[in-house]
Structure 1
Amino acid sequence: MSQIPVVQILGIKISVIDQPLLLAEIGQYAAHGKIALVNNVNVHACNLAYEQPVFHSILNASEIVFCDGFGVKLGAWMMGKKLGQRMTPPDWIDELFLLCAEKGYSVFFVGDTKEVVERFAGQVQQRHPELKIAGWHHGFFECHGSESDGVVDMVSDSGADIIITGMGMPRQELWAWEAKSKVNKGVFIATGALFRWYTGIEQRAQKWVTDCGLEWLARLVTHPRTLFQRYVVGIPLFFFRIVFGRRNG
């Protein structure tokens, strides 16, 4: 595993990394049977971390935190810092599955509803018949206590090398943080709404929109009520915090 350089944005250590190195690092952790947290940050994540010390600490204790938002890259530029490639899991997850199939790494999926995660697992297996899927479980369980312990035991007993979570932020990160001390191995990768995007239950914006950094606007148009606070309030708040932070050292 490489010593990946980091830059700090609002006190969050973000890895300066591109897609080939990200996949290589995940593969190295899996190959050596290591336990690792691979998380990502966008503007929403930075705001949550700013307001929630526990989430902030988890991100800074993660082995890799990659950039998944053009807003974060812009914020870094405003601070005179340069981040690595902006990456979002739907764009590279199939490449990870190809790597896992080639190297024999097994994967476990945790997240969303029972129907969605089963559909996701089925489609992944159809696209990647050589991939070892160790199991899957829905994400609607208490993240603390016996119910969570049961899911962790299932993951651990499966012998999965990579655990892909899709429970939303910061729930997926909090669960992985607690689970990592109870498994023998496993790379936990937070992927948010990946399961729904992969299966087509929710449609992503066209590629030119995502490449221009306007995916947030497309999502806001689709889900105005649920995402109003995150984007209409959250984006200006993030940049206010960036500017305020610069003026105060």
Structure 2
Amino acid sequence: MTMTQFTEVKLLATRFHKVTVRELINYIAQAAKLDKKTVVSNVNVRAINFACELPWYRDFLNDSDLVFCDGFGVLLGAKLQGCSLESSHRMTCPDYIEDLALACQKQDVSLFILAGKPGVADKAIAKLTAIAPNLRVQGHHGYFDKSGAENDAVIDKINNFKPGVLYVGFGMPLQERWITDNMEKIEARVFLPLGACLDFYTDTVYRGPRWMTDYGLEWLSRLVTEPGRLWERYLVGNLLFFYRVLTDYSRKLINKS
């Protein structure tokens, strides 16, 4: 089976692809049927900042089979550097996870959810199976020791299920580090690090009103809700990202002249 090729975008030495939600879901469902391991990653402002600071993290993204955009800031940064992108090339997991579940059900692809505090994965599974009753799905919370016996027991549970898609939601960069360290011994086909998606999907964490999320202002809603924990991530992180983008763009202009 030949996988669809997507246009690649490079921003601050980190690559992602021009892909729509429908294309992303189709790609994941197809990849889950191949006898190989596929990594589908995503980038937002925080991910690009990590990639600038952590070489192994940048390598993880650049070595991934597909990388989709999960942040308006990244779209804006790429546009500032002359890339042609539309709002349809940005997507956030809570908005499409049910469509993914329906696609998995239709194509008989199993899903394992490894994320959230105890109870969150169970709540997500209940919501997903309400709209996709024949979905083959299991889960486990993400609050376990990421090495040693406890980690091995979680991997055994995954391997007994042999999922087509393994959704890992520990937050960046812990989830990517865990996939890097454990992928060889995990019997799953598609590895999908998706951060706090389930927390939003299950209303465990407040995302903000729909009009804010649609216009890329989810970060502002979260900042107002949890200022003490998130001020550095969003205020400092966003400024640092755009400083890096503009500095990189200026350097390219100077080199051309």
Q: State the TM bucket, normalised to the shorter chain.
A: over 0.9
Matches of 2:23 and 2:204, distance apart in 1? 30
Amino acid at match of 1:163: L
Matches of 1:180 and 1:28, distance apart in 2? 19
- Answering whether residue 109 of structure 2 is matched by residue 105 of structure 1, we say yes
1:114 alignment partner, SS class: coil
State the 1:146 CA deviation: 3.7
Matches of 1:38 and 1:145, distance apart in 2? 26
Provide the alpha-carbon RMSD of the alignment.
1.5
Identity %: 38
State the 1:94 CA deviation: 0.5
Output the TM-score relative to the length of structure 1.
0.94
1:198 alignment partner in structure 2: 201
Q: Which runs of 5+ in 2 are unaligned?
A: 253-257
Output the TM-score relative to the length of structure 2.
0.91
User: Where do 1:36-115 residues align within 5 Å?
Assistant: 36-83=38-85, 85-115=89-119
- Answering whether residue 122 of structure 2 is matched by residue 118 of structure 1, we say yes
2:15 alignment partner in structure 1: 13
Matches of 1:179 and 1:244, distance apart in 2? 36
2:255 alignment partner in structure 1: none
1:108 alignment partner, SS class: strand
How many residues are paired up? Answer: 248
- Answering whether residue 178 of structure 2 is matched by residue 183 of structure 1, we say no
- Determine if contact 2:166/2:188 at 8 Å carries over to the other structure: no
State the 1:144 CA deviation: 3.3
State the 1:127 CA deviation: 2.8
Matches of 2:140 and 2:46, distance apart in 1? 26
Residues 21-65 of structure 1: per-residue CA shift (max 9 Å, x gap): 111111110122331111111111111111111111111111111
Residues 173-199 of structure 1: per-residue CA shift (max 9 Å, x gap): 111222321134321112211111111
Q: Which moved more, 1:151-160 or 1:102-111?
A: 151-160
State the 1:12 CA deviation: 0.6
2:25 alignment partner in structure 1: 23
1:77 alignment partner, SS class: helix
